[in-house]
Amino acid sequence: MTHSAKPFDHPRIKVVGSFHELLTTPFANGVNALCWPRVLTGNFAEVVELLGTGEGIVSLDEKLLRNLPLSEAGRLAVEVMLEDQRLLREQDLDPEINCIHGYPREETPGPVATDVMSFHVDSATAEADTWLCTYHGAPSEGLPNEEACMRTEIPETRAELQRLYGGRDDEDFRDYLAENCYDLHYAPLPHAKPYSFGVGNLWRIATDWPGSPVPPCIHRAPETRSGDAVRLLLIS
C-alpha cells in the first residue's frame, strides 16, 4: 500500500476553511470526512518532553497542562489544544486531550483484530460524529470506502468466525459479529491508498449510526512501536 500523494483530493473528503464551516457542513453526496487544514503555532514537542515518560494512554487536563514549566512556545501549544477543546465543549461534546505512549493490544487476537490500529469505523446508536486532531507524533490514517472490504465478508475470515461462534450463518451469528465489533473492521484492498490525516489538521468524520446519509469514514490510529514519538491527540 502507498499513501495518496494528495491526501485531500478524494471525493469522500471535503476541505473547509474554518471551525464554523467544519461544524455546519453536512455530510452529503458521499462525503464522510471533513478537514480543516491548519499550520499550528507552538512547541508541542516541548509539552511532550515535560510530560515525561509513561505508558498507555494518559488523559491531560487543563490544570496539568498549565502547570508545566513551559517556554512561551510551549505555552502557545497548550493554548492551541485547550482552545480546540473549548470549541468542542461549547457544542456539548466531551473532547479529551490524550498523551499516547502506546495503544493496548489484544492479548488473544482472533481472526479479526478489534484494536484502534485496525482500519475501522466508529458506531453510535444516534446521530454522532468523531472529531480528532493530532498535535504531535504520527497522525491517524483514513481509507476510502471503495478501497476496503469488511473483514467479516472475507470468506476465510467469516468461516473462522463462524467456527468460533459454533452455529449457523444466520441472524444470531450476525448479532454475534456486531456484539464483538467484528463488523466494524475493514481490510484494505490490494490497490488501496490510505491517506494521512496530517498533523495539526482538525477533522470531523462520519460514524455508523441508523439513518446516516453517508457511509462511515474508515480510519485507524498509527501503529505504536518502541522508540516512536509520543502522540498528542484531541478526540471526541
Residues 230 and 58 sit within 8 Å (Cβ to Cβ): no
Question: Total domain count for the chain?
Answer: 1
Element (H, E) at 21: helix 19-24
Q: Encode pLDDT of 62-86 as tens digits.
A: 999 999 999 999 999 999 999 999 9
pLDDT exceeds 80 at position 32: yes
Residue 157 lies in a domain: no
| This model's pTM is above 0.85 | yes
Supply the pLDDT for residue 228: 83
Give the pLDDT band of residue 1 (cuts 50, 70, 90).
very low
Residue 28 lies in a domain: yes
Supply the pLDDT for residue 3: 38
pLDDT exceeds 60 at position 22: yes
Residue 148 lies in a domain: no
Residue 31 lies in a domain: yes
Give the pLDDT band of residue 226 (cuts 50, 70, 90).
confident
Residue 186 lies in a domain: no
Q: Encode pLDDT of 104-128 as tens digits.
A: 777 666 899 999 999 999 999 999 9
Residue 101 lies in a domain: yes
Q: What is the CATH number of the domain that holds 125?
A: 2.60.120
Q: Encode pLDDT of 41-53 as tens digits.
A: 999 999 999 999 8
Supply the pLDDT for residue 108: 67
The DSSP output letter for 30 is T
Mean pLDDT for the stretch of residues 184-192: 96
Give the pLDDT band of residue 190 (cuts 50, 70, 90).
very high
CA gap 127, 135 in Å, rounded: 27
Q: Print the domain residue range for 48.
A: 13-143+192-235
Residue 179 lies in a domain: no
Give the pLDDT band of residue 2 (cuts 50, 70, 90).
very low
CA gap 83, 75 in Å, rounded: 12
Supply the pLDDT for residue 40: 96
> What is the per-residue burial (b if ≥16 Cβ within 10 Å, else e) of 82-107?
bebbebbeeeeeebebbbbbbeeeee
Q: Encode pLDDT of 159-179 as tens digits.
A: 999 999 987 889 999 999 999
- Whose CA is closest to 187, among 118, 141, 116? 118
Residue 208 lies in a domain: yes
